[in-house]
Amino acid sequence: MRKIKVAVNGYGTIGKRVAEAIMLQPDMELIGIAKTRPDYAALLAYRMKIPIYTSREHVKLFENNGISVAGTIEDMLREADIVVDATPAGIGAKYKPLYEKYGVKALFQGGEKPDIADASFNSYCNYDECLDKKYIRVVSCNTTGLLRLLCSLNTYNKIRRVRATIVRRAADPKEDKKGPINSIKPNPVTVPSHHGVDVKTVLRDLNIVTTAVIVPTTLMHLHIVNIEFENPMTRGDIINALSARRRIALVNAELTGIDSTAKIIEAARDLGRKRSDVPELIVWEDSIHVSGNEVILMQAVHQESIVVPENIDAIRAVMGLAKNPEESIRITDQTLKIGIFREMFSIPKS
């Protein structure tokens, strides 16, 4: 079978991870990446023999830095079946007319407005809805974390309402110009924050309200989630529902000592995970508090990597490579070794 030709436009935090994940898929071929600056990431991609494309006006800049480009972004689009747009928030909208011109399907990221695409995407929630669509938006890291949790629990017992507080990392580790560096900043001061609104681009009828603050850390986000179900739940029900999902790692802080985002990242380093990535959603088992129909828990989201498996599944949905989510999720998880975090650190109850 011919492999699907995938291009990646934008090669930063998300683009480089998605590009490497594409290279591991049996049914996809990375035909190249596009970038506007010939920085260290471009140099490394060049040394990895990934074809590099750029806009016409930047070709000289790349060649001055010793990087021979494979062509312009238009050349790349001409060859691609699908492009993953991982340019900075808002820039994807500027590229959409070009994708339309070359008749190439496109995935956008969570920094774009929802109306850029035919649908917003999460593998556990609405794969079927996105089958064979032309433009899909893979929701942001926080929304992906919330949706993974909610769609895993909603199939078990219908959710009546959700209230969640998002404690956001201030910046990615490489972003040395962002803050705050000594403050806790409501994001925004008004309620609700946009995260719940974004969840509703996938789960349209859900009653959800979120609030958010930004704190001075670069490692991960943390969510405190309060869910009310239609019917009573037990701790065992929650644990069973979440244990059924490979992309969710239930971690017991007391037994493992993994009681902070710093320790999650250290555990990922110990696992030898590239860039200390944690594409799994981490749910602290000890935090699960159940009272009748109400559940409160805490979870952590690695913003740099959680959307990578979703991007791979979204490519399969849009290209019709796998007709059901289970088939795509199985291949993605196997190739990206998702599930190892919980195999190593989830301790079965004796």
Touching ligand NAD, residues 127-166 (CB under 6 A): 140-141
- Give yes or no: 130 in active site: no
Work out how close the CB of 18 gets to ligand NAD at its nearest, in angstroms, rounded to a whole number.
9
Which residue lies nearest ligand NAD, judged by its C-beta? Answer: 12
Nearer to ligand NAD (CB atom), residue 35 or residue 246: 35
Tell me which H or E stretch contains 315. Answer: helix 308-319
| Residue 334: count of CB within 10 angstroms of its CB | 13
Beta bridge partners of 222: 167, 300
Work out how close the CB of 223 gets to ligand NAD at its nearest, in angstroms, rounded to a whole number.
15
- Classify 53 in phi/psi space as left (phi over 0), alpha (psi -120 to 50) or beta: beta
CA 193 – CA 182 distance, rounded (Å): 22
DSSP string, 4-28: EEEEEE--SHHHHHHHHHHHT-TTE
Task: Verify binding: residue 121, ligand NAD, rule CB under 6 A.
Answer: no
Task: Verify binding: residue 339, ligand NAD, rule CB under 6 A.
Answer: no
Work out how close the CB of 350 gets to ligand NAD at its nearest, in angstroms, rounded to a whole number.
38
Stretch that binds ligand NAD, among 192-200, 211-219, 303-311, 329-337 (CB under 6 A): 303-311
74-77 long-range CB contacts below 8 Å, 24 or more apart? 74/98, 74/102, 76/7, 76/9, 76/31, 76/32, 76/34, 76/51, 77/7, 77/102, 77/104
Touching ligand NAD, residues 4-23 (CB under 6 A): 9-15
Among 20, 280, 304, 333, binds ligand NAD (CB under 6 A): 304
Cis ω on the peptide bond leading into residue 192 (within 30° of 0)? yes
Please give the C-alpha separations between residue 138 and each of 62, 81, 103, 162, in angstroms, as whole numbers: 30, 18, 20, 21
Task: Verify binding: residue 216, ligand NAD, rule CB under 6 A.
Answer: no
Please give the C-alpha separations between residue 128 and each of 21, 144, 221, 312, 329, in angstroms, as whole numbers: 22, 17, 28, 15, 13
Of the candidates 95, 148, 150, 101, the one whose C-alpha atom is nearest the C-alpha of residue 117 is 95
Nearer to ligand NAD (CB atom), residue 177 or residue 204: 177
φ, ψ for residue 276, nearest 5 deg:
50, 40
Touching ligand NAD, residues 169-188 (CB under 6 A): 172
Catalytic residue among 125, 130, 141, 151: 141
CA 194 – CA 302 distance, rounded (Å): 19
Stretch that binds ligand NAD, among 84-92, 152-160, 198-206, 230-238 (CB under 6 A): 84-92
Among 24, 59, 70, 91, binds ligand NAD (CB under 6 A): 91
CA 346 – CA 350 distance, rounded (Å): 12
Task: Verify binding: residue 114, ligand NAD, rule CB under 6 A.
Answer: no
Task: Verify binding: residue 110, ligand NAD, rule CB under 6 A.
Answer: yes
Work out how close the CB of 55 gets to ligand NAD at its nearest, in angstroms, rounded to a whole number.
7
Work out how close the CB of 184 gets to ligand NAD at its nearest, in angstroms, rounded to a whole number.
19
Work out how close the CB of 315 gets to ligand NAD at its nearest, in angstroms, rounded to a whole number.
15
Stretch that binds ligand NAD, among 29-37, 45-53, 235-243, 276-284 (CB under 6 A): 29-37
Nearer to ligand NAD (CB atom), residue 20 or residue 285: 20
Nearer to ligand NAD (CB atom), residue 24 or residue 41: 41
Nearer to ligand NAD (CB atom), residue 222 or residue 227: 222
CA 327 – CA 318 distance, rounded (Å): 14
Task: Verify binding: residue 332, ligand NAD, rule CB under 6 A.
Answer: no
Amino acid of residue 159: I
Tell me which H or E stretch contains 43. Answer: helix 40-47
Number of residues that bind ligand NAD (CB under 6 A): 26
Residues annotated catalytic, as ranges: 141
Positions touching ligand NAD (CB under 6 A) are 9-15, 34-37, 86-89, 91, 109-112, 140-141, 172, 303-304, 307
